[in-house]
Structure 1
């Protein structure tokens, strides 16, 4: 067998059973694939089905169509890929709405009474409707004069996404290098990186003078090209083949790195990004990326 299809249900959902796995296997068999028995990574949560004789895209499409016809299974994510290089040695992760549950700039804007206006711009930028740098300059410009202390208050209000620490710490425990890369700001990337356990972080720099935001961002800007270049540069520096890299994000500025990584995952992503990415997780938490690499739940590093 040279490929594997992984079925992943949200934690505690208990919607993935042996019958559902058998239906997924049958959907590939009918197209002429050779399939193996389901191997459970976590009971009622995740399983692998090894296969050969079928393109990974074709296998995923067939299984997705089959599961969509079964009641109570629309919450199951599907990742189909080659077995070669499945466990990744490099992780590049977006921060906002990926490693943390919200958008840090939107939450910061709440202190200026501008959250609704700025969130609308963020949404358009993350769906690729307007340029990232343009949207960044516009939003930050609206925060001119905001007290620096609001950054700390924003950080306190942010929550780490379920599964983020397990993802990063498990991959580190198995020798992977991890980097947090964000179009957000270093005030947040530095602290979130330390909390979650990344090796390094990269973000944009807010200009602050006299204890207040000036409304300017110090260039160069961390954008989609920066994220892609960082993925490739770290892979080169660490001598990691591209097939052994993993990237995850939700916005349009993540798409180039998602398409270039060995496993690029659109995580609860904006519509345009979910449509453009090769792989996506729509229902599960970030531990889904561990299951996608073949880790069983009892291999997860939680602390």
Structure 2
């Protein structure tokens, strides 16, 4: 018995093959796309390309199709008349442009440029797009990811090297007051499946050790050491031991009081909930303390959590930590460990942090995001977010606001 043969795929039209660009625009309503292609189907044309966008209730639908052949019963003239008649009957406008072939070949190199603005001004867009052009890039498509709490827009760019584009746009974004992320286009942009965050001043608004210090009456002293450590002026491990020593003698009941004082960063719960709904695994690593991070893990349903542990003896804090120290190198090591346990390649991981002790982790991940970070961290990370909403990181992953809302609706 013979085996059925799969017919070969149709070759794309050559540069000299006549094509028609059919453009429909007007008030959007259900059925426009179906109606246009049902109209075109009567002429036996092939579809070469389709683009559609709806902005403030107005649709622009473009279809690039092969022109009817010379032996066709109904030619291009009939097609024009028919499409214009169909459009008019639906209160739409039509434009049909003759030409040959497909779109011009795109340059080598594919990048996705995500721009976050609060607000996103025309001046900012002008600056960003001018830099894209200046690096030899061409903007192929533009898509809005979100309109609140920030405006987030994604540009698909070809013809420019990703690293060169990232470097140039980092400077321009800082000058224009917008956040810009640049990543190589492809499946990995959509397939990142592990997100690991710092805790203090990232997942939460507070520095946990300062909350403990407030109960010990040494908040100002601890805050000064913390600030110097986050700026990279002090060795983290030494500063940790020095700060924890000031907590010696505190009653262990202070742990529960501190847990109640912790404030999640705006958007933190939405970020975690959306990621989990979309199949991501989420973890935290912290230079803070397991007495707090374990509670956050349970509250938010995190997959991984690791931090330092305050020693408690006879119901009192001893002023020491026990076990391995989670420092700058430790955070990167834990990211690798979480990725291995999750079965996720490092290039598909995302790390988020704000301090100097997060830098190794940010640079180890496939995408490192500096969140409202110190200047040295913003400069070293792959990208930065400088608005106070943690869920804006979702847009850097190509996750739209509609997907966020869908995840919320599913849980409701």
Structure 1 68/218 Cα, relative in aligned 2: closer, same or farther at 3 Å? closer
- Partner residue in 2 for 1:186: 290
- Partner residue in 1 for 2:203: 99
| 1:197 and 2:294 aligned | no
Using the TM superposition, give the Cα deviation of residue 229 of structure 1 relative to its aligned residue in structure 2, in angstroms.
1.3
Q: Which blocks of at least 5 consecutive residues in structure 2 are unaligned?
A: 1-108
Using the TM superposition, give the Cα deviation of residue 242 of structure 1 relative to its aligned residue in structure 2, in angstroms.
1.6
After TM superposition, the structure 1 stretch with the greater mean CA deviation from structure 2, 108-117 or 15-24, is: 15-24
- Partner residue in 2 for 1:81: 183
What RMSD, in angstroms, separates the aligned Cα atoms of the two structures? 2.0
The 5 Å alignment of 1:100-249 reads 100-249=204-353
Using the TM superposition, give the Cα deviation of residue 47 of structure 1 relative to its aligned residue in structure 2, in angstroms.
0.7
Query: 1: CA distance between counterparts of 2:166 and 2:131?
Result: 10
- Partner residue in 1 for 2:113: 5
Query: 2: CA distance between counterparts of 1:204 and 1:62?
Result: 39
- Partner residue in 2 for 1:45: 151
- Higher gyration radius (CA): 2
Cα contact 2:173–2:180 (8 A) shared by 1: no
Using the TM superposition, give the Cα deviation of residue 213 of structure 1 relative to its aligned residue in structure 2, in angstroms.
0.6
Query: 2: CA distance between counterparts of 1:285 and 1:110?
Result: 26
User: After TM superposition, where is structure 1 displaced by more than 3 Å over at least 4 residues in a row?
Assistant: 17-23, 60-69
Cα contact 1:190–1:201 (8 A) shared by 2: yes
Query: 1: CA distance between counterparts of 2:296 and 2:145?
Result: 29
Structure 1 162/32 Cα, relative in aligned 2: closer, same or farther at 3 Å? same
The 5 Å alignment of 1:6-25 reads 6-9=114-117, 13=118, 15-16=119-120, 20-21=124-125, 23-25=127-129
SS of the counterpart of 1:54? Answer: coil
Query: 1: CA distance between counterparts of 2:255 and 2:162?
Result: 44
SS of the counterpart of 2:200? Answer: coil
Q: TM-score, normalised by structure 1?
A: 0.90
CA distances 1:241-289 after superposition (whole Å, capped 9, x unpaired)? 2211000111122110100100011111122222222221122521221
Q: 1:261 aligned to 365, 369, 372, which one?
A: 365
Cα contact 1:40–1:48 (8 A) shared by 2: yes
Query: 2: CA distance between counterparts of 1:241 and 1:219?
Result: 28
Query: 2: CA distance between counterparts of 1:210 and 1:68?
Result: 52
Query: 2: CA distance between counterparts of 1:121 and 1:65?
Result: 31
SS of the counterpart of 1:86? Answer: helix
Aligned length: 295
Query: 2: CA distance between counterparts of 1:114 and 1:284?
Result: 28
CA distances 1:188-217 after superposition (whole Å, capped 9, x unpaired)? 001122223311211111111222111111
Structure 1 17/182 Cα, relative in aligned 2: closer, same or farther at 3 Å? same
CA distances 1:120-166 after superposition (whole Å, capped 9, x unpaired)? 11111111111111111111101100111222222222210111122
